[in-house]
Chain A
């Protein structure tokens, strides 16, 4: 029973990682850049939802919508100002810019919202699920988190495989020049990807803070790094990979804590990652790219 309960916590934590990882992986797949500011967009999303519900008295759903809209806009603005001018630069230059953006967002949030942590209001008000005469209790938040994540993953997969924009995104990630020759607006497609990734970040922020309700300017950074790890774990650039990587990372983290050592749980997570990468150097579902000579 304890195992089941741990497993469920792991899946719930992993679902949050998975949604954040999706944002990383989509942007990476298309722009070939590690968007280190992604974790901080999550934080902005969570603050927006918090403000909407606590200060402006909006219902939870409206708060989430507002967060999505603002994060999407933020993503577009960041992309236009900070990343677009560097389209031709090395990926490392963009990486450092992303770190700059991350510092900027964190410190701007610190100035606006101050350092005191805020407790995120409960978006889910359903009762807990009790199974086996109360020996297994699953919180409603975990269930909602998993369900929402699943819906997003399915929707995103459909979007990328079926819609015109999704096809353009895949084409750009495959080969920018060729895509351009086929009449695809490469810059526009990259911007759209950023917008979607940032919108997802808002949802991730709300889910993260619903499950673990403290909100600080640094809230997004550690889950961001872990989700980035998850994305690489699953094979960066691959959407199913990000989902799988995220969920596995969450499960390993919780089970490692429960059955090996709480002291060394971080080391365990990262050690598993290293072992997986040594066996499968491009991650679980990553494609092996043949080098051109």
Chain B
């Protein structure tokens, strides 16, 4: 009973962070004090938070390293674009098209998740990691050679050979044009949509973690053999976590694509997968709230560093290394804790807050 309420409290705090973030941003943007730079970053921040939270399900909760999360994002993005653009004539309402795009994107990403997951989840550790990386590269390569067009006769989908405008019926248009990607997307994503997607992602992931299935998944992470021996169906639960994670990434991908007029396969490469992984690891494995905070801060950081011009990415790298060292090296960690306590003593003169339970980052 006590455990339950602790979880509920921890969840409430997580939701509250997201909601407060939304409200504050809305108020700031309503009053016109929000810079264009930050306004433009709001939707990507939402997308990356959803990506980080969903990847945390695979990496933190299931305990399998995935280096191809951007692959699922791209499946969702491209499917979403196809859906939204083909429905442009038949569905007038933008928000409904966006939702449809996100749902179909999620379904498609989930299907690909199953296709990849069934064979791949038999592998362990770094071998699984490399296969997810390989999968991400394959998807990218295929999408680079995918041509999709839409006209009165419906969708034309072709691999490798370009579709020329003259082949299409009157009023037809290209949706995806190989390496040029999708262009001419109507911008449908809004910050509110991003906010709702964050809430949805959190709802799915937190409920999954704290359900019976979630405990089964974590038991596999902690000790697969023991889990197997008490009758947990390892394959089923592994696949469940993996597919849910893929579907959520697909949704985030659709939202991402609808935020720009153009989206190309190049974006969803190894580096994007790694970027999201950095959010997860820095936020703490299995720590959902950590993922949210880390994604938001690390996304904004390179933008704040624009002031230092050429040295921007160099500083970013240094910050990354230093933070990893500080959070993972016992000596340095104690040093920082001491500084922190001292600072706290100066600013907040209260009794120490008890450590937060629930999600821990082993």
**Which of A111, A228, A283 has a CB less than 8 Å from the CB of B314?**
A111
Q: Is B98 an interface residue (CB 8 A)?
A: no
**Which of A90, A101, A108, A277 has a CB less than 8 Å from the CB of B123?**
A277
Given the known inter-chain contacts A107-B317, A263-B145, A266-B137, please indicate yes or no for A93 contacting B324, CB distance below 8 A.
Answer: yes
List residues 105-140 of chain B with CB under 8 A from any CB of chain A. Answer: 119-120, 122-124, 126-127, 129-131, 133-135, 137-138, 140
Given the known inter-chain contacts A99-B278, A229-B134, A266-B137, please indicate yes or no for A104 contacting B321, CB distance below 8 A.
Answer: yes
Residue of B nearest to A102 (CB): B317
Q: Is A154 an interface residue (CB 8 A)?
A: no
Chain A residues within an 8 Å CB radius of B330: 88
Question: Could you tell me the distance between the alpha carbons of A35 and B126 in the complex, rounded to whole angstroms?
Answer: 12
Residue of A nearest to B136 (CB): A270
Contact A96 B282 (CB under 8 A): yes
Residue of A nearest to B119 (CB): A278
List residues 200-229 of chain B with CB under 8 A from any CB of chain A. Answer: 224-226
Q: Is B141 an interface residue (CB 8 A)?
A: yes
Contact B320 A273 (CB under 8 A): no
Contact B278 A104 (CB under 8 A): no
Contact B225 A97 (CB under 8 A): no
Contact A90 B285 (CB under 8 A): yes
**Min CB–CB distance A253 → chain B (angstroms):** 12
Q: Which 5 A-B pairs have the closest CB atoms?
A: A100-B320, A270-B134, A103-B317, A104-B317, A89-B328
Residue of B nearest to A291 (CB): B225
Given the known inter-chain contacts A101-B321, A103-B317, A107-B317, please indicate yes or no for A96 contacting B141, CB distance below 8 A.
Answer: no
**Which of B65, B130, B321 has a CB less than 8 Å from the CB of A92?**
B65
Residue of B nearest to A97 (CB): B324
List residues 219-269 of chain A with CB under 8 A from any CB of chain B. Answer: 225, 228-229, 232, 236, 261, 263-264, 266-267
Question: Could you tell me the distance between the alpha carbons of A273 and B144 in the complex, rounded to whole angstroms?
Answer: 20
Chain A residues within an 8 Å CB radius of B321: 82, 97, 100-101, 104
Q: How large is the interface on B (under 10, 10 to 19, 20 to 34, 35 or more residues)?
A: 35 or more
Contact A229 B130 (CB under 8 A): yes
Q: Is B356 an interface residue (CB 8 A)?
A: no
Question: Could you tell me the distance between the alpha carbons of A96 and B328 in the complex, rounded to whole angstroms?
Answer: 11
Q: Is A282 an interface residue (CB 8 A)?
A: yes
**CB 8 Å contact bits of B310-342 with A (1 = contact, 0 = none):** 110110111011001101111110000000000
Chain A residues within an 8 Å CB radius of B145: 263-264
**CB 8 Å contact bits of A200-232 with B (1 = contact, 0 = none):** 000000000000000000000000010011001
Question: Could you tell me the distance between the alpha carbons of A202 and B120 in the complex, rounded to whole angstroms?
Answer: 35
Q: Is A271 an interface residue (CB 8 A)?
A: yes
Chain B residues within an 8 Å CB radius of A108: 314
Contact B317 A101 (CB under 8 A): yes
**Which of B119, B124, B142, B274 has a CB less than 8 Å from the CB of A267?**
B142
Chain A residues within an 8 Å CB radius of B131: 273-274, 277
Residue of A nearest to B60 (CB): A92
Residue of B nearest to A231 (CB): B130
**Which of A85, A96, A270, A277 has a CB less than 8 Å from the CB of B281?**
A96
Chain B residues within an 8 Å CB radius of A274: 119-120, 131, 134-135, 138
**Min CB–CB distance B4 → chain A (angstroms):** 29
Contact A93 B281 (CB under 8 A): yes
Residue of A nearest to B281 (CB): A96
**CB 8 Å contact bits of A100-143 with B (1 = contact, 0 = none):** 11011011101100000000000000000000000000000000
Residue of A nearest to B137 (CB): A270
Residues of A at under 8 Å CB distance from B? 28, 34, 82, 85-86, 88-90, 92-93, 95-97, 99-101, 103-104, 106-108, 110-111, 225, 228-229, 232, 236, 261, 263-264, 266-267, 270-271, 273-274, 277-278, 281-283, 291, 293
Contact A100 B329 (CB under 8 A): no
Question: Could you tell me the distance between the alpha carbons of A212 and B78 in the complex, rounded to whole angstroms?
Answer: 34
Question: Could you tell me the distance between the alpha carbons of A97 and B130 in the complex, rounded to whole angstroms?
Answer: 18
Chain B residues within an 8 Å CB radius of A96: 277-278, 281-282, 320, 324
Residue of A nearest to B161 (CB): A263
Question: Could you tell me the distance between the alpha carbons of A278 and B324 in the complex, rounded to whole angstroms?
Answer: 33
Chain A residues within an 8 Å CB radius of B133: 225, 229
**Min CB–CB distance B113 → chain A (angstroms):** 15
Given the known inter-chain contacts A85-B329, A281-B127, please indicate yes or no for A111 contacting B311, CB distance below 8 A.
Answer: yes
Chain B residues within an 8 Å CB radius of A273: 130-131, 134
Contact B324 A86 (CB under 8 A): yes
**Which of A100, A103, A106, A283 has a CB less than 8 Å from the CB of B324?**
A100
**Min CB–CB distance A41 → chain B (angstroms):** 15
Contact A266 B141 (CB under 8 A): yes
**Min CB–CB distance A289 → chain B (angstroms):** 9
Contact A283 B328 (CB under 8 A): no
Question: Could you tell me the distance between the alpha carbons of A1 and B141 in the complex, rounded to whole angstroms?
Answer: 30
Given the known inter-chain contacts A228-B130, A267-B137, A281-B127, please indicate yes or no for A104 contacting B328, CB distance below 8 A.
Answer: no
Question: Could you tell me the distance between the alpha carbons of A270 and B139 in the complex, rounded to whole angstroms?
Answer: 10
Q: Is B160 an interface residue (CB 8 A)?
A: yes
**Min CB–CB distance B95 → chain A (angstroms):** 36
Q: Is B270 an interface residue (CB 8 A)?
A: yes
Chain A residues within an 8 Å CB radius of B324: 86, 93, 96-97, 100
